[in-house]
């Protein structure tokens, strides 16, 4: 066993996306003497799902425009009745003060001619979406840099450390040096995002996903192995995204009044949700598009051709200048003009996400999981449709909790066993006896996800997936990795397979249909509120993962 550097901290944050950065900033504000350490596998000014930019805060309760109760009703609709509202309430109550803080730090929130925030509708009811401009992650990273927090960029968190029933730190891989580094802390925040690379996009590119492809459920695998519980894994989301580019725009198009049209030129949502139309819950919208395509009425597209020039400009400004400027290049390459051309969409690969889905760690109102000292925030927390606001609010909430608890005693977990275990794991990957590459391995299970886990689902298909991938759980330990980057890819692939299997397990357990297309079981096509208006919780058990209802 080699000697490794051990970094002691009071508050260890794994993942420097929006949630992780906010946690670091808030912790530093409240406790300037606290040793805050932030571990990030990329570089915090450009990392995470919001790394390139975001053109709106989707869920802000602005006084006079919306109310917390109205927001909770909207999220309840989106979550199709299985909402555990505690965290959603916290997010709603703090959302406007978060906006004000961001504005004070330099984020731009454009105003209309009356000086009011530009608020739009994205949820099935209410108006909570606020237009945003500016480079959010750059702003957050600068704030982090002004605190005492120590940032370790290009460090891949590999495993959590425990001391008894308490979390005690983590072991990470220094991507540039190729060496391991241990971090010990009495409080650890998992803020490492959702899982984007679960299904396979129709382009075939492993990283050509809708959601940020470098977040692949590593936090979920690590946290579950440490004893934390997960929920919402049967909410296998798939979103209508710009064909091939698989790029953002969905919420931008919808809030600005774009229509979904089929190949016959029909605004087909009239057939599926005549009241809410394009603003129907995501799963209902997905089911409608799937039905249109299946019936041969494709291609399906977002049409903006009926919108006035000023609205088109707002859409272009949001997507092309703030959220994903490379989409402008893509549109130019394809000769697309929103004024004239419908933008064809296809259903994205299946993904799992807390922020724009229901999947994530089960946690209390302070973001603490069922493992003492282990917290979660952002897309890896089950903060149903909390989006970016949810990530940042819960990052702050966790920091406040950690600062108030003052469990800042030195923490010296027994490193030996965990370290030896990790070193053995890495040595085995270096030997790489599988005879297949990590890309082949990933392609294989993701292709199986498309066939057997992606909706429409059935017991037969889900069982088949679990059986077919059983041997891959053994195979994964012999995946080859020649350098630190490849070790990162192996860890992402392992986490992806773990998440896919958890999705299959949760989907198999929920013997009804719910969430529109997302959990449509052909063998249980009816929704059953009496039995199933409850979350499905996955817990680690001695014989493997165990599924149960939250309310029996």
Partner 1 sequence: MNLRIDEELCLRCGACVEHCPGDVLEQDQDGRPFEKYPDDCWYCGVCQAECPAGCIELLFPYLIR
Which residues here bind partner 1, judged by CB under 8 A?
Answer: 41-43, 45-48, 51-52, 154, 175, 203-209, 212-214, 244-245, 324-326, 329-330, 333, 439, 485, 488-489
| Token pair listed for 264 | 């016959």
* Nearer to partner 1 (CB atom), residue 55 or residue 229: 55
**Crossing angle for the helix pair 387-405 and 18-30, nearest 10 degrees?**
30
Tell me how far, at minimum, the Cβ of 81 lies from partner 1, in Å.
34
Tell me how far, at minimum, the Cβ of 288 lies from partner 1, in Å.
26
Tell me how far, at minimum, the Cβ of 154 lies from partner 1, in Å.
7
Residue 361 CB partners (closer than 8 Å, separation 6+):
190, 219, 220, 223, 228, 229, 230, 231, 354, 369, 376, 380, 381, 382
Tell me how far, at minimum, the Cβ of 2 lies from partner 1, in Å.
23
* Nearer to partner 1 (CB atom), residue 41 or residue 285: 41
Rounded to whole angstroms, how far apart are CA atoms 119 and 86?
25
* Nearer to partner 1 (CB atom), residue 213 or residue 354: 213
* Nearer to partner 1 (CB atom), residue 77 or residue 327: 327
Rounded to whole angstroms, how far apart are CA atoms 451 and 504?
12
Rounded to whole angstroms, how far apart are CA atoms 552 and 548?
8
Residue 69 CB partners (closer than 8 Å, separation 6+):
none
* Nearer to partner 1 (CB atom), residue 84 or residue 442: 442
Tell me how far, at minimum, the Cβ of 296 lies from partner 1, in Å.
24
**Any bridge partners for residue 166, and if so which?**
163, 372
Query: What is the number of other CB atoms lying within 10 angstroms of the CB of residue 77?
Result: 18
- Name the DSSP letter for residue 356: T
Tell me how far, at minimum, the Cβ of 245 lies from partner 1, in Å.
6
* Nearer to partner 1 (CB atom), residue 227 or residue 432: 432
Q: Are 276 and 124 in contact (CB under 8 A)?
A: yes
* Nearer to partner 1 (CB atom), residue 207 or residue 431: 207
Tell me how far, at minimum, the Cβ of 334 lies from partner 1, in Å.
9
Q: Are 476 and 444 in contact (CB under 8 A)?
A: no
* Nearer to partner 1 (CB atom), residue 205 or residue 467: 205
Of 219, 221, 184, 198, nearest to 19 by C-alpha is 219
Cis peptide bond N-terminal to 456, omega within 30: yes
- Name the DSSP letter for residue 311: H
Pairing of strands 11-14, 187-190: parallel
Tell me how far, at minimum, the Cβ of 394 lies from partner 1, in Å.
22
**Any bridge partners for residue 161, and if so which?**
169
Residue 549's SS3 state is strand
* Nearer to partner 1 (CB atom), residue 213 or residue 342: 213
* Nearer to partner 1 (CB atom), residue 259 or residue 351: 351
| Token pair listed for 247 | 């790029």
Tell me how far, at minimum, the Cβ of 175 lies from partner 1, in Å.
6
SS3 sequence of 25-65: HHHHHHCCCCCEEEECCCCCCCCCCCCCCCCEECCCCCCCC
Rounded to whole angstroms, how far apart are CA atoms 200 and 225?
26
Q: How far apart are the first and last CA of the chain?
A: 47
Tell me how far, at minimum, the Cβ of 197 lies from partner 1, in Å.
11
Tell me how far, at minimum, the Cβ of 350 lies from partner 1, in Å.
18
Tell me how far, at minimum, the Cβ of 78 lies from partner 1, in Å.
26
* Nearer to partner 1 (CB atom), residue 154 or residue 446: 154
Q: Are 46 and 52 in contact (CB under 8 A)?
A: yes
* Nearer to partner 1 (CB atom), residue 38 or residue 168: 38
Tell me how far, at minimum, the Cβ of 118 lies from partner 1, in Å.
24
Residue 155's SS3 state is strand
* Nearer to partner 1 (CB atom), residue 234 or residue 323: 323
Q: Are 442 and 496 in contact (CB under 8 A)?
A: yes
Tell me how far, at minimum, the Cβ of 325 lies from partner 1, in Å.
5
- Name the DSSP letter for residue 149: P
Beta strands in 63-154 (DSSP E): 119-120, 129-131, 150-152
SS3 sequence of 386-450: CHHHHHHHHHHHHHHHHHHHCCCCCCCCCHHHHHHHHHHHHHHHHHCCCCCCHHHHHHHHHHHHH
* Nearer to partner 1 (CB atom), residue 43 or residue 76: 43
């Amino acid at each position: 066993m080699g000697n490794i550097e051990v970094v002691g901290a009071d508050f260890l944050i794994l993942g420097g996306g929006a949630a992780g950065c906010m946690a670091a900033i808030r912790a530093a504000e409240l406790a300037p003497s606290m040793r805050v350490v932030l571990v990030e596998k990329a570089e915090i000014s450009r990392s995470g799902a919001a790394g390139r930019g975001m053109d709106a805060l989707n869920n802000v309760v602005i006084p006079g425009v919306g109310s917390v109760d109205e927001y909770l009703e909207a999220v309840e609709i989106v979550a199709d009745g299985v909402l555990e509202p505690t965290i959603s309430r916290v997010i709603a109550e703090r959302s406007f003060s978060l906006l004000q803080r961001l504005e004070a730090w330099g984020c731009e929130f454009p105003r209309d001619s009356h000086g009011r925030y530009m608020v739009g509708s994205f949820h099935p009811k209410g108006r909570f979406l606020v237009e945003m401009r500016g480079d959010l992650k750059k702003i957050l990273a600068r704030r982090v840099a002004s605190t005492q927090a120590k940032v370790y960029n290009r460090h891949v968190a590999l495993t959590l450390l425990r001391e008894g029933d308490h979390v005690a730190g983590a072991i990470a891989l220094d991507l540039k040096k190729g060496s391991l580094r241990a971090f010990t802390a009495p409080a650890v925040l998992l803020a490492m995002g959702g899982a984007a690379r679960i299904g396979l996009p129709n382009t075939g590119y492993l990283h050509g996903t809708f959601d940020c492809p470098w977040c692949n459920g590593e936090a979920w695998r690590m946290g579950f192995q440490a004893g934390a519980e997960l929920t919402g894994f049967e909410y296998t989301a798939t979103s209508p995204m710009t064909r091939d580019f698989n790029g953002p725009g969905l919420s931008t198009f919808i809030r600005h009044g774009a229509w979904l049209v089929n190949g016959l030129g029909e605004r087909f949502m009239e057939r599926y949700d005549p009241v809410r139309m394009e603003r129907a819950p995501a799963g209902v919208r997905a089911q409608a598009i799937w039905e249109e395509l299946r019936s041969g009425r494709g291609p399906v597209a977002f049409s903006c051709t009926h919108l006035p020039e000023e609205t088109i400009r707002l859409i272009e400004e949001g997507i092309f200048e703030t959220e994903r400027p490379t989409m402008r290049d893509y549109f130019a390459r394809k000769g697309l003009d929103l004024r004239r051309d419908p933008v064809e969409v296809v259903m994205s690969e299946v993904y799992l996400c807390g922020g724009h889905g229901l999947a994530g760690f089960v946690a209390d109102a302070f973001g603490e999981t069922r493992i003492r000292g282990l917290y979660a925030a952002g897309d890896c927390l089950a903060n149903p449709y909390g989006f970016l606001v949810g990530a940042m609010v819960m990052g702050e909430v966790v920091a406040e909790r950690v600062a108030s608890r003052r469990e800042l005693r030195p923490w010296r977990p027994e490193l030996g066993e965990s370290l030896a275990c990790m070193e053995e794991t890495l040595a085995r990957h270096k030997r790489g006896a599988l005879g297949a590459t990590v890309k082949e391995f990933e392609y294989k299970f993701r292709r199986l996800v498309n066939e057997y886990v992606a909706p429409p689902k059935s017991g037969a298909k889900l069982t088949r997936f679990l059986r077919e991938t059983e041997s891959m759980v053994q195979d994964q330990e012999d995946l080859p990795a020649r350098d630190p980057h490849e070790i990162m890819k192996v860890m992402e692939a392992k986490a992806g397979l773990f998440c896919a299997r958890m999705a299959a397990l949760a989907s198999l357990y929920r013997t009804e249909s719910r969430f529109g297309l997302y959990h449509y079981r052909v063998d249980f096509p009816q929704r059953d509120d009496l039995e199933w208006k409850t979350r499905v919780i996955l817990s680690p058990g001695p014989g493997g993962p165990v599924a149960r209802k939250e309310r029996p």
